[in-house]
Structure 1
Amino acid sequence: MLLEIAIADAYGAGFEYAPPGPDRPNDASRYVPHTRHSGKHPGDYTDDTQCSIAVAECLLAGATSALGFAAGILGAFRRDPRLGYAVGFRQVLGAATDGADLIARLRPTSDKSGAAMRAGPVGLLGSAGAVLAMAAAQARITHDSPGGTGAAQGAALMVHHRLRGLGPVAELPDYLAAQVPAVDWRRPHRRHAGPKGEEIARAALGVLLDARSLAEVLVLTVARGGDTDTVAAIAMAAAAVSPGFARDLPPALVAGLEDGPYGRSFLAALDRRLAEAFDAPAVAAGPGG
């Protein structure tokens, strides 16, 4: 799952608020450079993946208090600083000394997508009630608003629904609406999305309803435009554990994903740990068909 999230994040990052063109094809064949982030190489993932890694590591370690999540997010950034974070949040991460200091520096009222983008691993928990509670707990340190927290709960529940086989993907809007009524899940978003958390999460839902394969998740997300890396990462977290989606990510995207200390090999190993810890083999199934 995390490996696929990173591929989606890295692919979508090349098109974030930057539409495809003749020299930037949206065909899932390769990563493309971003038009604004000159320091980011094609195939590098962004904060969407790094924060998902942090949440996954907190779940494995049992460090699931607000302080635990804050320390995990800060620790992931400090060991591997990278582009993609909002400027203000990156400055706070750079200044904070520990998890408690990070919490003290934050104004946790955002309604944007930062909590939703990292919520995918929470969907591995065994019950919808546990998913709702944990998704809210990790969200509230930065996004303690109805839209920010509700989007995170929905993103996590998409993973939970698909992984645990709770029904066909077409039933997701009704399932989410019953669990998280603060968000209008019965209106999936199928156009340019961002930056609000609710809109991003509903855009990911729209992609899940319309795609039939992992590669199609990427192409559909980019074709609709906006905050493409975040929409792709959220949708891919659920698609990657869904038996109804063809596992057809091109080998060039798998091989082209960064493979430094926290890159492709690290992510695959972390997926194996998650699969074992949560009795979820699909999490470590890999992106190929």
Structure 2
Amino acid sequence: MLLALAIGDAYGAGFEFAERSKIEQHNNLTHYEQHGLGIKPGCYTDDTQMSLAISELLIEQQPWTPLNIANKFVSCYKRDRRLGYSSGFQHFLDSIEDGAELLEKINPHSDRNGAAMRAAPIGIIADIAQLLQFAKMQAQITHDTPEGIASAQAIALAAHYFIYALGDKSALTAFVSEHTATMWDDTWQAEVPCSAWETVNAVLTLLSHCDSAEQILLQGVNFGGDVDTVTAVALAIASQSTQYRQTLPEFLTRDLERGVFGHDYLAQLGEQLMALKR
């Protein structure tokens, strides 16, 4: 899951809020593009780094508390500072030392997609009631709004649906809607803003209608807007199902970053996360 998430993140990052002309010219699955912020081709962003934080906490089986979650967010950022966070949140992370300070000083009332983008690993939790609780708690740290919480729960549920092979992809949106008491939409066609609602709808659209990992990447980027979050989350979730052809161009794995927290770390951590399946 985590390797697929990073590939979707790194590929999508080259097109995040890019001009339509760049998408039309270069969204062809032949190479990683450089992000407008200067993020090097093949490098992932905050979507992956925060998902690593969630995954590590699950694997370590520490108590699922706001302080432990916040400490993970801060420590993962401090050990490997990278671009991709919103400028305001990045400045905030640079200004604090630990999770306690994060909880003390943050304004948590965002309705953007930050809580959803990191929620896919929570899908490994077998008990749906516990899954919903875990997704809600991690969302409340930074996105304590109805939109922030429901979107995080929706992404965790979508991952859970495929990890535990609960049904056909055509029934995914109904499953997620039932367990979040929210009517999600899988007919998204427009540019994707950083909003929690629209991001989940775009992800569900890809998962409901695509048949392969390649199609998810191409169509996800073609939406335009916050496409690295959409492609990262959708590819991570689809990687857990045989309902999607998993063939991808070799460059996506070959050219993914290889640093301390790059390809090999992602693959190893992903195996440890999946080992939690009950």
Question: Is 2:68 aligned against 1:68?
Answer: yes
Runs of 4+ that moved beyond 4 A: none
The one-letter code sitting in structure 2 at the alignment partner of 1:268 is A
Question: Is 2:155 aligned against 1:155?
Answer: yes
Cα distance change on mapping 1:22 and 1:198 into 2, 3 Å = closer
Cα distance change on mapping 1:43 and 1:204 into 2, 3 Å = same
- Check whether the contact 1:207–1:217 (CA below 8 A) recurs between aligned residues: yes
Unaligned runs of 5+ in 2: none
Cα distance change on mapping 1:65 and 1:22 into 2, 3 Å = closer
The one-letter code sitting in structure 2 at the alignment partner of 1:264 is H
In the other structure, the counterpart of 1:27 is: 28
Query: How far, CA to CA, are the matches of 1:22 and 1:144 in structure 2?
Result: 33
Equivalent residue of 2:22, what SS?
coil
The one-letter code sitting in structure 1 at the alignment partner of 2:223 is R
Q: Which moved more, 1:91-100 or 1:135-144?
A: 91-100
Q: CA deviation at 1:30?
A: 1.2
Question: Is 2:221 aligned against 1:246?
Answer: no
Equivalent residue of 2:170, what SS?
helix
In the other structure, the counterpart of 1:284 is: none
In the other structure, the counterpart of 2:113 is: 113
Equivalent residue of 2:142, what SS?
coil
The one-letter code sitting in structure 1 at the alignment partner of 2:265 is F
In the other structure, the counterpart of 1:194 is: 193
Equivalent residue of 1:57, what SS?
helix
Query: How far, CA to CA, are the matches of 2:9 and 2:53 in structure 1?
Result: 15
Identity percentage of aligned residues: 37
Question: Is 2:203 aligned against 1:204?
Answer: yes
Q: CA deviation at 1:190?
A: 2.5
Query: How far, CA to CA, are the matches of 2:30 and 2:91 in structure 1?
Result: 35
Equivalent residue of 2:141, what SS?
coil
After superposition, the C-alpha distances for 1:229-264 in whole angstroms (9 at most, x for unaligned) are 001111112101011011112111111100100000
- Check whether the contact 1:26–1:222 (CA below 8 A) recurs between aligned residues: yes
Q: CA deviation at 1:184?
A: 2.7
- Check whether the contact 1:20–1:26 (CA below 8 A) recurs between aligned residues: no
- Check whether the contact 1:201–1:234 (CA below 8 A) recurs between aligned residues: no
Query: How far, CA to CA, are the matches of 1:20 and 1:31 in structure 2?
Result: 16
Cα distance change on mapping 1:83 and 1:163 into 2, 3 Å = same
In the other structure, the counterpart of 2:2 is: 2
Query: How far, CA to CA, are the matches of 2:275 and 2:23 in structure 1?
Result: 43
In the other structure, the counterpart of 1:229 is: 228
Query: How far, CA to CA, are the matches of 2:248 and 2:156 in structure 1?
Result: 22
- Check whether the contact 2:15–2:23 (CA below 8 A) recurs between aligned residues: no
After superposition, the C-alpha distances for 1:192-226 in whole angstroms (9 at most, x for unaligned) are 11111111011110111121111111001011111
Q: Which moved more, 1:61-70 or 1:101-110?
A: 61-70
Query: How far, CA to CA, are the matches of 1:242 and 1:99 in structure 2?
Result: 35
Question: What is the root-mean-square deviation of aligned Cα atoms in Å?
Answer: 1.4
Query: How far, CA to CA, are the matches of 2:95 and 2:210 in structure 1?
Result: 41
In the other structure, the counterpart of 1:283 is: none
- Check whether the contact 2:135–2:152 (CA below 8 A) recurs between aligned residues: yes
Cα distance change on mapping 1:32 and 1:107 into 2, 3 Å = same
The one-letter code sitting in structure 1 at the alignment partner of 2:248 is L
Query: How far, CA to CA, are the matches of 1:77 and 1:230 in structure 2?
Result: 18
Query: How far, CA to CA, are the matches of 2:207 and 2:165 in structure 1?
Result: 15
Q: CA deviation at 1:21?
A: 3.3
In the other structure, the counterpart of 2:90 is: 90
Equivalent residue of 2:92, what SS?
helix
In the other structure, the counterpart of 1:56 is: 55
The one-letter code sitting in structure 2 at the alignment partner of 1:180 is T
In the other structure, the counterpart of 2:80 is: 80
The one-letter code sitting in structure 1 at the alignment partner of 2:74 is L
Query: How far, CA to CA, are the matches of 1:190 and 1:166 in structure 2?
Result: 27
Q: CA deviation at 1:23?
A: 8.8
Cα distance change on mapping 1:174 and 1:23 into 2, 3 Å = closer
In the other structure, the counterpart of 1:140 is: 140
Q: TM-score, normalising length from structure 1?
A: 0.92
Q: CA deviation at 1:277?
A: 2.6
Query: How far, CA to CA, are the matches of 2:184 and 2:170 in structure 1?
Result: 12
